[in-house]
A and B are shown apart, each in its own frame.
Chain A
Amino acid sequence: MRTVFAGDSINFSYDTKKPVLNGLSLSIGDKQIYGLLGPNGAGKSTLTKVMLGLDKPQSGKLQWFNEIPNRSTNKRVGYVPQDLALIYDLSAYENVLFFGKLYGLKGERLKKQVRYALEFVGLWDERKQKPKKFSGGMKRRLNIACGIVHNPDVIIFDEPTVGVDPQSRNRILEGIIELNQIGTTIIYISHYMEEIEKVCSHVGIMDKGELLVEGTLNEVISQHTDQAVIKLELQKRASAYTTQLEKYQVISTEGNLVELGVLKNDVGVISSIKEDFGDDIKSFQYIAPNLEQVFFKLTKKNLRD
């Protein structure tokens, strides 16, 4: 597979005391939806700025499309920042038009691309309105339109769904999948684990400026955790089952709810639970190993810590 972005041994720090990126290496293939995960302070935003050329690494090599970044490679990269990057005294149409012009689009092609971008995010009918009249979700969508108007080969989405309503969120996620289906490589940075699991084909988990793991979603999950979770709802409060619970790895208890950690595909433990709690089990739920467990295992942190 053709490599779209390659970073090798990237070191970056704002001051010499604490490195933000610590010898990080990363490779993103063509047409992937690459999810980048990491707790706050992991260095995701800095990595994004370094990838875009906004910050200069102290050492390491970067390549876009197998070239040292230059004006030509810049044209092939789109960026949808986490903070809204809009011009509020221009209409939605004028915003997208302006950013299209910045990327050298002209004439009919420009108009066509502006229309495509606005229709893609579902704002064509509102094109004459100024963004200050838009809802949070609409602003986010316009932000995306400005980032994709020049039809880039790669788009970096930095937390594109923060603070948007569920409807807009779904629309954005569907749009990202659609973009990928027409051949665009997506680099997706998000705090929302379920979004990553829903849209990404590949994932990289970062912490303390290092890339801890990367691969396809299934590879990462299967290779880095074998732990499943069983959620039980019992007749009585969990404290009434102290003796029975001693046999198991208790993750949490709350009232009559208990979470147990078990090995995946361990059929024996399920039989054992049925024997120990019998008719006291009001409900039983088996949760297969997932990204959240991998993330927790690798970083010892919840994503929103």
Chain B
Amino acid sequence: MWNIFLTSMKRKMKNPIIFVNYILLPLLLIVILGNALSSVFQSGEKDAVPVSMTKVRTVVVNEDTGKIGKDIVAFLTNEENAGMFEVTLQTDSSTAKKLLENGEYDQYIYLPKDLTSGFTDKKESYVTIYGEDSNIEKVGITGLTLSAFGDGYLAMDVSSANNKAVSYTHVYNNLLKVGKTNSVETTESSNPVSALSYYGVTMLILILLYGLANTMNFIQEEYSEALGDRYLISPVSKTSLIMGQLLTGCTISIIQGLVIVLCAKLFFDVSYGENILIVLFVIVAGAIFFNALGLILGVIGRRFKQLDGIVTLLIPIMTFIGGGFIKLDFGALSNLSINEVFQRPLFNYMQQGVIDLMPLYSTLVLALGFVLISIFALTRKEIR
């Protein structure tokens, strides 16, 4: 096995394609794609930038004499919300509606008199927000703001004032049950990935994927003709032959992956997250899986020359639908991309700090199966 490994390594290390195509090229792609397509990533980055927003002109009629009505009015007019709402209090509901219809206000919030008592008696009661169709977004924001208020025990009914037929009725009482103290779920904020870091990941996986083609081609060339016969009649066991080739492929892929990660971090400030062990694990798992897959394809497809063309075509397709070249969401289609299996854990870790390596463990189990089948398929046939 070591003879096969060392000789194959020597042969591969002499090959400039290993370095030029499989290290420099992905680094160039990280830079080129990362800069050229950086605008695609800016929507995520904008979240961190403060934006100015026009105040929502709000008229409030509070008929509730209890605590909840007062608290809502206080909430809408507090210092934090002063930048968002311009609140005017009215006592008469019909006047408030007219002001809304006249366009003097963007929305009208009605707090009924049974709001507090309804809560106390564990009966449903509603805060109603009226708004014009043109202001439905603002009304929606207010609805969400109120639903997030306090313990969130309100139900709200938002309707369009001037078009009853097409009324917008959003009942939020599913979110907020009376008498319960449910906090409104908030989505944990994710760290946006920069364009360079995004391509730092996708190009890393792409290069690991090319390990498949390299190993497959190598096996096809070595074992298809007379040279393969020479290997197979030698006293070297088939397990040693297979493991020697796998070890070579994995070593090359791991070296390529490490060089790319190192260069990307040093020269382009690509971030792979704080725990470099996660990236290392992805590289090792990817190297083993893709090379084992290349091994089995090479062994089984030794006499099927077209396989090379098919794989060469599939690699960029897989990368494309996995969003490797352009950050596009292909939905369920992207699950067909084998790149996704390795990209996703890295992105999840980089964006949300979530470490989920289970898919990678699965690929290692699969790789073991590929290796065993390869040994079986290459096994010299015993003579009776």
Which A positions have Cβ atoms within 8 angstroms of B?
49-50, 52-57, 59-62, 68-69, 71-72, 74-75, 77, 79, 81-87, 89-90, 94, 98-99, 101-104, 146-147
Q: Is the CB of A85 within 8 A of B234?
A: no
Q: Which of A55, A86, A102 contacts B231 (CB 8 A)?
A: A102
A37 to chain B, nearest CB (A): 21
Q: Are A85 and B7 in contact (CB under 8 A)?
A: no
Q: Which residue of B lies closest to A56 (CB)?
A: B381
Scoring B residues 233 to 273 as 1 if CB is less than 8 Å from chain A, else 0, what string do you get? 11110000000000000000000000000000000000000
CB < 8 Å neighbour of A53 from B3, B225, B383: B383
The reply to whether A87 and B227 contact each other, CB–CB distance below 8 Å, is yes
| Chain B residues whose CB sits within 8 angstroms of the CB of A87 once the complex forms | 11, 227
**B67 at the binding interface (Cβ < 8 Å):** no
Which of B225, B229, B231, B236 is most buried by chain A, counting CB atoms within 10 A of its CB?
B229
22 of the cross-chain contacts (CB-CB < 8 Å) are A50-B383, A53-B383, A54-B380, A56-B382, A56-B383, A56-B384, A59-B384, A69-B383, A71-B235, A74-B233, A74-B234, A74-B235, A81-B229, A81-B230, A85-B226, A86-B227, A87-B227, A90-B11, A98-B7, A99-B230, A102-B234, A102-B236
Contact of B234 among A56, A59, A82, A103 (CB under 8 A): A103
B193 located at the interface, meaning its Cβ lies under 8 Å from any Cβ of chain A in the complex: no
Whether the Cβ atoms of A54 and B381 lie closer than 8 Å is yes
Q: Which residues of A have CB within 8 Å of B14?
A: 89
B15 at the interface (CB under 8 A from A): yes
Shortest distance from the beta carbon of B7 to any chain A beta carbon, whole Å: 5
* Candidates B10, B226, B235, B383; contact of A62 at CB < 8 Å: B383
Using Cβ atoms and an 8 Å threshold, which residues of chain A touch B382?
53, 56
Category for how many chain B residues contact A: 20 to 34
Residues in A whose Cβ lies below 8 Å from that of B7 = 90, 94, 98, 101
The reply to whether A79 and B230 form a contact with Cβ atoms under 8 Å apart is yes
Please name the residue on chain A nearest to B231 by beta carbon: A102
A102 touching B381 by the CB < 8 A rule?
no
| Complex Cα spacing A13 to B225, Å | 20
9 cross-chain pairs, A with B, having the tightest CB-CB distances, nearest first: A56-B381, A85-B226, A83-B226, A81-B226, A85-B227, A102-B234, A85-B230, A101-B3, A71-B235
A85–B229 CA distance with the chains assembled, in angstroms? 8
Instruction: Say yes or no: is B232 at the interface (Cβ < 8 Å to chain A).
Output: yes
List 7 other contacts, CB 8 Å, given A54-B233, A102-B3: A57-B384, A81-B229, A81-B230, A89-B11, A89-B14, A102-B236, A104-B235
Contact with A along B354-384 (1 / 0, CB 8 A): 0000000000000000000000000011111
Give the contacting residue for A52; candidates B10, B15, B229, B236; CB below 8 A: B229
Chain A residues with CB below 8 A from B380, complex form: 53-54
Q: Are A68 and B383 in contact (CB under 8 A)?
A: yes
Within 8 A of A (CB), among B149-180: none
Q: Which residue of A lies closest to B230 (CB)?
A: A85
Smallest CB gap from A86: residue in B: B227
How many Å lie between the Cα of A191 and that of B96 in the bound state?
A: 109
Asked whether A52 lies within 8 Å of B233 as measured between CB atoms, the reply is: yes
A61–B7 Cα gap in the complex (Å)?
A: 37
Are B383 and A98 in contact (CB-based, < 8 A)? no
Q: Which residues of B contact A94 (CB under 8 A)?
A: 7
| Chain A residue nearest in CB terms to B232 | A54
Residues of B within 8 A of A49 (CB): 229
Q: Are B381 and A85 in contact (CB under 8 A)?
A: no
Which A-chain residue is minimally distant from B3 (CB atoms)?
A101
B225 and A89 contacting across the interface, CB-CB below 8 Å:
no
Mark interface residues in B48-71 (1 if CB within 8 Å of A CB, else 0): 000000000000000000000000
**Across-interface contacts of B236 in A (CB, < 8 A):** 102
CA A103 to CA B225, docked complex, whole Å:
20
CB A161 to nearest CB in B, in angstroms, measures 16
Instruction: Chain A residues near B384: list those with CB within 8 A.
Output: 56-57, 59-61
A85 close to B235 (CB less than 8 A): no
Our pick among B3, B10, B225, B229 for the contact of A54 (Cβ within 8 Å) is B229
Q: Is B235 within 8 A of A75, CB to CB?
A: yes
State whether A55 touches B230 (Cβ < 8 A): no
Give, as a whole number of angstroms, the nearest-CB distance from A109 to chain B.
15
A98–B4 CA distance with the chains assembled, in angstroms: 8
A98 contacts B3, C-beta separation under 8 Å: yes
Q: Residues of B contacting A77 with CB < 8 Å?
A: 233
List residues of chain B with CB within 8 A of the CB of A62.
383
Cβ contacts B210-230/A at 8 Å (1 or 0 each): 000000000000000111011
CB distance from B10 to the nearest CB of A (A): 8
Residue of A nearest to B12 (CB): A89
Report if A89-B15 is in contact (Cβ < 8 Å); known contacts: A54-B380, A81-B229.
Answer: yes
Asked whether, in the complex, the Cβ of B381 is within 8 Å of the Cβ of A79, the reply is: no
How far, in Å, is A112 (CB) from chain B's closest CB? 18
Q: Output the residue of B233, B236, B383 with the most chain A CB within 10 A.
A: B383
Separation of A151 and B121 alpha carbons in the complex (Å): 101
Q: Which residues of B contact A59 (CB under 8 A)?
A: 384
> Which residues of B sit under 8 angstroms from A52, Cβ to Cβ?
229, 233
Closest chain A residue, CB of each to CB of B233: A52
What is the CA–CA distance of A56 and B235 in the complex, to the nearest angstrom?
17
| Cα of A236 to Cα of B382 in the assembled complex, Å | 64
Q: Which residue of A lies closest to B14 (CB)?
A: A89
Contact A103 B235 (CB under 8 A): yes
> Closest CB of chain A to B178's CB: distance in Å?
78
**B235 proximity list for chain A (CB < 8 A):** 71-72, 74-75, 102-104
Q: How far is the CB of A69 from chain B (nearest CB, A)?
A: 5
Cα distance, A128 to B10, chains bound together (Å): 15
In the complex, are the beta carbons of B233 and A146 less than 8 A apart? no
The distance from the CB of B1 to the nearest CB of chain A, in whole angstroms, is 11
Q: Which residue of B lies closest to A98 (CB)?
A: B7
Task: Quote the shortest CB–CB distance from A49 to chain B (angstroms).
Answer: 8
Closest B residue by C-beta to A64 = B383
Which one, B225, B233, B234, B381, contacts A83 given CB within 8 A? B225
Q: By the criterion CB–CB under 8 Å, are B11 and A53 in contact? A: no
Q: A98-B3, A102-B3, A103-B234 are in contact. Are A79 and B383 (CB under 8 A)?
A: no
